[in-house]
Amino acid sequence: MASAASQPAALSAEQAKVVLAEVIQAFSAPENAVRMDEARDNACNDMGKMLQFVLPVATQIQQEVIKAYGFSCDGEGVLKFARLVKSYEAQDPEIASLSGKLKALFLPPMTLPPHGPAAGGSVAAS
């Protein structure tokens, strides 16, 4: 398996599902859950602080799992894994669902501003 580390990882859709499930499971490991909770507490729901505190911890947790599948143990490996997953999302609803679950673990829920005629008066009233 030494050659796998020197070559870019290529996973089938089925393998990508397995790795995604393992990454999601890694986030629920007690030590990782504590790390993520601490990072979220430090971020205080501020997007800039989320990038500063939460994203690095989330990246480390992912790295710990994906390195076993031939991805480099750095930010580039996580980006390559994310691109691979993204390439399968349109073809496979299960991968899209797992990917959404993974993102929800470290990205705050996005609340979009209201649009449309019903929203027009609510801004002025507040």
Q: Output the pLDDT for position 115.
A: 61
Q: Output the pLDDT for position 7.
A: 44
Question: What sign has the CA pseudo-torsion 38, 41, 43, 46?
Answer: positive
Task: Kindly tell me the burial class for residue 60, based on how many C-beta atoms sit within 10 Å of its own C-beta (0-12, 13-18, 19 or more).
Answer: middle
Q: What is the pLDDT of residues 97-112, one digit of tens each?
A: 999 999 888 876 666 5
How many CB atoms sit inside 10 A of residue 115's CB? 8
Find the helix packing angle between 13-28 and 30-43, rounded to 10°. 70
Q: Output the pLDDT for position 47.
A: 83
Query: Is the model's pLDDT at 119 over the cut of 70?
Result: no
Q: What is the pLDDT of residues 30-76, one digit of tens each?
A: 999 999 999 999 998 888 888 899 999 999 999 999 999 999 988 89
Q: Output the pLDDT for position 124.
A: 47
Domain boundaries in the chain? 11-104
